[in-house]
Amino acid sequence: MFKSILKLNEYMKGSRFLYLIGGISIAIATLFSLLIPLILRFTIDNIIGDEKVDIHPSIDPFFSSVVESGYFDGKLWIVALIIIGVTLLEGLFLFLKGKYTAISSENMAKKLRDKLYSHIQKLPFEYHIKTETGDLVQRCTSDVDTIRMFLSSQLIEVARAIIIVGISIPLMLSLNRDMTYITFLVIPIIFGFSFVFFIKIRSAFKISDETEGKLSTILQENLTGVKVVRAFTRQKFEIDKFDKVNKDYRDTTYKLMTLLAWFWSVSDFFCLLQIGVTVVSGTYFAVSGTMTIGTFLVFITYVSMLLWPIRQMGRILTDMGKSIVSINRIEEVLSYEEERKEGQTIKPPISGDIKIRNLSFAYESGKDVLKSINLDIEKSSTLAILGSTGSGKSTLVNILCGLYDYDRGSILIGNSEMKDIDKDWLRKHLTLILQEPFLFSRSIRDNLLMANENIGEDRLVETTRIANIHNDIIGFNKSYDTSIGENGVNLSGGQRQRLAIARSLLKDSPIIIFDDSLSAVDTETDLRIRNSLSQYRRDQTRIIISHRITTIMEADKIIVMDDGKIIQEGTHEQLLEEDGAYRRVYNLQTATSEAV
């Protein structure tokens, strides 16, 4: 818990001064609130009543001098104005408290969200593969908001409670020692009960948060994959799955609410018991003449003021428990090691030469998906990769893109070991076009300009012509300014792939990888795109993954992969002469094409 509090202090960096002003404001407001019962006591006992009460000068020299002068005798309107003035000042400082704690907590939340988002952008690809998106979204939103609410509404109340206890106890002891002991009879029990409850409820909050994260994940997956759900008529299955997790969330939240209900009920009982004991005892002392009515009013007011913040300590401790869970969940993300940072890596010139030696890779220990890969890719050449599903093709290109780190074998890009190259620098010189490209819910132009914001209109049109998508774009009502919807929902599969190709060409990198990114276009369009690409930039190194022989047959080198190994290597003509997987696939596709 102490580490979490230190982290909270770290999050507040840059906002601590404003938060301190909020703390000072609540302290001053509390002093004014404690002053009002003393003014009322003075009014009741000294102005309304005929009895002159001895007020000790060390406690309140102002009241003592006023009593001796008799200035306020018969002048209640002056007292009323003083009470109104004190109340206005209390309200002013409460406003300042609310303003500055809100500003500081909102600044903290913004900085923390920025820090999380920036850190997530720098996390290795394997982290995103293992982490549920919905849970990650919740940590960046709900968990940050939990901490913000605790800072703005709860933690500041601790200062108020400390001031009330620290000032009211000496005042009450000076007024009536026996009555003070009675007033604090049940308060230690209330505080102890709140502290024990805080310890017990932390695990319940964690379970509730985790269940909410699962619910968010299901919602995110379902909304993203709505086409697939409807295509396979899986609505009922998805509804049942959501209903099950929703019930789990309801049940865990219900258990949490039940615990909270028990806390508030029990604490209410003890608080009312303490007030009742104070009223009965105070009445007895007042009737017996050992305590004035004004002093009795002070005790009743102070015990009410004391019980609320002490009772609130339970809520504060509860929210602290929830905040600690949120801090720990956020720190789980922030503590995950980023990709190698600038200063630990190099930025060599990258032209397109790639040499792979004895490369092996496993997602899980002992289960290699790449096995002793040896491969030379020359600058400005085209390498094609053919292989069945699970043969290791995509894993190989993901490693070449720096999405996964390798620890066995070597990959030289130029004369530099790839793992020593800055990841951002590597990706700046290398472009990966996926089979299922991601497009943003913006216009076609905005999606294209993500690769390079400084591209002119002529260059934009040139690349869309190369990708064979220009005619489709100008056919839309708003041409390049047409909004394509979430992930290009308004485009066909082939249009999305061609738009992604055009976007990648604008990046103008020396190495470009097509990961089956022409699979959704017909063979004629495929041929036109490849012919345009061959004329576009002759010094570009291209790696093409495809299951279609016609797409890869003109490559300078073709490799066939199976079970993580290269089983064939050569040109199209050379591989056709061999009795192997390449010729079998070629014959099968040729026979199918002729039959059609």
Higher pLDDT, 442 or 557: 557
Starting from the edge strand earliest in sequence, which strands make up the sheet with 367-377, in order?
367-377, 354-364, 408-413, 416-417
State the pLDDT confidence band at 584, using cuts at 50, 70 and 90: confident
Q: What pLDDT shows up at residue 96?
A: 92
| Whole-structure pTM value | 0.67
Tell me the torsion sign for CA atoms 261, 264, 265, 266: positive
CB-CB contact of 34 with 164 (8 Å): yes
Q: Which of 277, 304, 334 is the last residue of a domain?
A: 334
Using CA atoms, how far apart are residues 401 and 430, in angstroms rounded to an integer?
Answer: 7
> Which residue do the tokens 């990198």 mark?
509
Helix axes 2-11, 293-334, angle to 10 degrees: 80
State the pLDDT confidence band at 314, using cuts at 50, 70 and 90: low
Same domain (yes/no): 330, 361: no
Residue 589 lies in a domain: yes
Residue 217 has pLDDT above 50, yes or no: yes
Domain count, the chain: 2
Q: What pLDDT shows up at residue 59?
A: 46
State the pLDDT confidence band at 315, using cuts at 50, 70 and 90: low
Same domain (yes/no): 299, 205: yes
State the pLDDT confidence band at 596, using cuts at 50, 70 and 90: very low
Same domain (yes/no): 200, 314: yes
Same domain (yes/no): 321, 423: no
Residue 525 lies in a domain: no
Structure tokens at 235: 């609505």
Same domain (yes/no): 283, 375: no
Residue 443 has pLDDT above 70, yes or no: yes
Q: What pLDDT shows up at residue 123?
A: 83
State the pLDDT confidence band at 500, using cuts at 50, 70 and 90: confident
Residue 445 lies in a domain: no
CB-CB contact of 195 with 316 (8 Å): no
Query: Which pairing describes strands 541-545 and 382-387: parallel, antiparallel, or unpaired?
Result: parallel
Most confident of 1-10, 117-126, 275-284, 309-318: 275-284
CB-CB contact of 298 with 38 (8 Å): yes
Q: What pLDDT shows up at residue 228?
A: 67
Q: What is the CATH number of the domain that holds 575?
A: 3.40.50.300
Residue 341 has pLDDT above 90, yes or no: no
Same domain (yes/no): 6, 67: yes
Hey, which bits of 521-573 come out as E strands?
541-545, 557-562, 565-570
Buried b (16+ CB within 10 A) or exposed e, 64-78: eebbeeeebeeeeee
DSSP conformation letters of 313-375:
HHHHHHHHHHHHHHHHHHHHHHTSPPSPPTTSSB-----S-EEEEEEEEEEETTEEEEEEEEE
Q: What pLDDT shows up at residue 344?
A: 64
Residue 323 lies in a domain: yes
Residue 454 lies in a domain: no
Q: What pLDDT shows up at residue 79?
A: 76
State the pLDDT confidence band at 305, using cuts at 50, 70 and 90: confident
Same domain (yes/no): 354, 212: no
State mean pLDDT over 213-230: 74
Structure tokens at 145: 């908001």
Q: Residue 530: left (phi > 0), alpha (psi -120 to 50), or beta?
A: alpha
Q: What is the DSSP letter of 60?
A: -
Using CA atoms, how far apart are residues 513 and 525, in angstroms rounded to an integer?
Answer: 18
Measure Cα distances from 466 to 459, 498, 536 in Å.
11, 9, 8
What mean pLDDT is reported for the chain?
80
Q: What is the CATH number of the domain that holds 79?
A: 1.20.1560.10
Residue at 185: amino acid letter: L
Same domain (yes/no): 208, 356: no
* Cβ neighbours of residue 481 closer than 8 Å, sequence gap 6 or more: 443, 444, 445
Range of the domain at 405: 350-429+541-596
Percent of the chain, pLDDT > 90?
A: 1
pLDDT digits (tens, 9 = 90+) for 36-85: 888 888 777 766 766 655 554 444 555 555 555 555 566 677 778 888 99
Residue 499 lies in a domain: no
Percent of the chain, pLDDT > 70?
A: 88
Same domain (yes/no): 216, 313: yes
The residues with which 569 forms a beta bridge, in sequence order, are 559
Buried b (16+ CB within 10 A) or exposed e, 324-346: bbbbbbbeebbeeeebbeeeebe
Same domain (yes/no): 325, 354: no
